[in-house]
Structure formats: structure tokens, C-alpha cells
Amino acid sequence: MELYSKIAKTVRNLTFHQVSSERRKVLQPLIDYIKSNISANEVNLNFICTHNSRRSQFAQLWAQTAAYYYGINANCFSGGVEETSFNERAVAAIIRAGFNVTSKGEENPQYSVTYAKDTKPLIMYSKLFDAKSNPSTHFAAVMTCSHADENCPFIAGTQKRLPLLYEDPKEFDGTAEESNKYDERSTQIATELFYVFSNVVEQ
């Protein structure tokens, strides 16, 4: 599968040895879920955080890219418990990583995002986890922040609820470290989700 050259370089630089044994234990249930559903061609992952503005957007994009890269038929979504917008700093981070991004609208804009020439664009914007564009049955709810995990105890239609928590780069907004911290979180999420899909392929 041929990714855009810049994003392919980003992927080549991912190193699985950075995934600690503790994180591998956290990731294993997601690997198991994908394996258990792949034969039915019904792998649907909904990545959920509070505002659907940073971590869950990163996770949706990197998971879909990893599925494409490893030739796995999976559909990746994201949502929140509140509707805000895909944060412009997170958007800048995915552009630096190599995604092709165009946008339309001003308040909660919709971003058209691609990672390879032969793929349909992902339409990325902040939405509720149960938005009409997201699956209502036969999906795993992957919780990417502790606030959403704690404050959203019930998600209708999900087959599996999986905590995959990440620190929020928001705390570095407006600081000299802002871009580096957003890139760091994007890279961590990319590394772990490529690790997940690589383990699905190996079995």
C-alpha cells in the first residue's frame, strides 16, 4: 500500500520498541478485538474523548492509516461527549506528519484528510460519539481520555469498551513547546496503533 511520501517517511520512523511492556498489555485487548471481528469484515473502531478535538482525532486518522497500510478492512471513527472543533494545533500536527488536508467552514470546520492517492478522504470534524456518521452497533468504543472514560459510563451499541488513555497536549497550548508536544502525542498514538495492526497481520 503506497502512502504519500512524507507520511510514508513518518511511518518508517515509528519504532515499536518504544512501546513499553505496560502499554503492550493495554493494547492487547484492542488487538484481540480486531482479530475476533476481522473474519466477518466488521471491524469498527470509535475513538472517544471529551471534545473530539485532539487525541481521538489523532487516533482515528492513525488507526485508519495503519489499517490501510497493513491491508486490514477496518472502519475508524471518532467522537466526543461534547461537540467543539478539530483543534487547529492538532490539524497542524497531522499536516507536519504528511497528511493531505483541506478544510471548509469556520465554526467547527470539516477537514478532508487523505494519506494516499487511492483512498477516499476522511471527513474530520468534532462530533458526538453517537453522531449519525458513527456506527450505532457492532463497534468497539476506544476511550482515549480519562475524563470521557469516567464521565461516559454507558455507550449504546458497543461490543467492547476499551481504555486507551493518552495525556492531553492541550496543556502546552501557547507555550514554546506547543508544536513539539502535539507532534509527540501524534507520534505516540501512531506508534501504538501501527503496533496494534502489525500484530493483527502477524497472526
CA distances from 114 to 51, 59, 100, 146, 194 (A): 22, 14, 5, 29, 17
Give bridge partners of residue 142 from the DSSP assignment: 47, 162
Q: Is the pLDDT of residue 85 over 90?
A: yes
What average pLDDT does range 32-38 have in this prediction?
95
Q: What is the DSSP letter of 127?
A: -
Q: How far apart are the C-alpha atoms of 42 and 162, rounded to whole Å?
A: 17
Share of the chain above pLDDT 70, in %: 99
Name the pLDDT band for 1 (thresholds 50, 70, 90).
low
Q: How far apart are the C-alpha atoms of 139 and 53, rounded to whole Å?
A: 21
User: Strand, helix or coil at 132?
Assistant: coil
What spatial distance separates the first Cα and last Cα of the chain, rounded to whole Å? 19
Which CATH code is given to the segment(s) 25-90+128-202?
3.40.50.2300
pLDDT of residue 203: 53
Domain ranges of the chain: 25-90+128-202
Contact (CB, 8 A) for 145 and 51 = no
Contact (CB, 8 A) for 191 and 76 = no
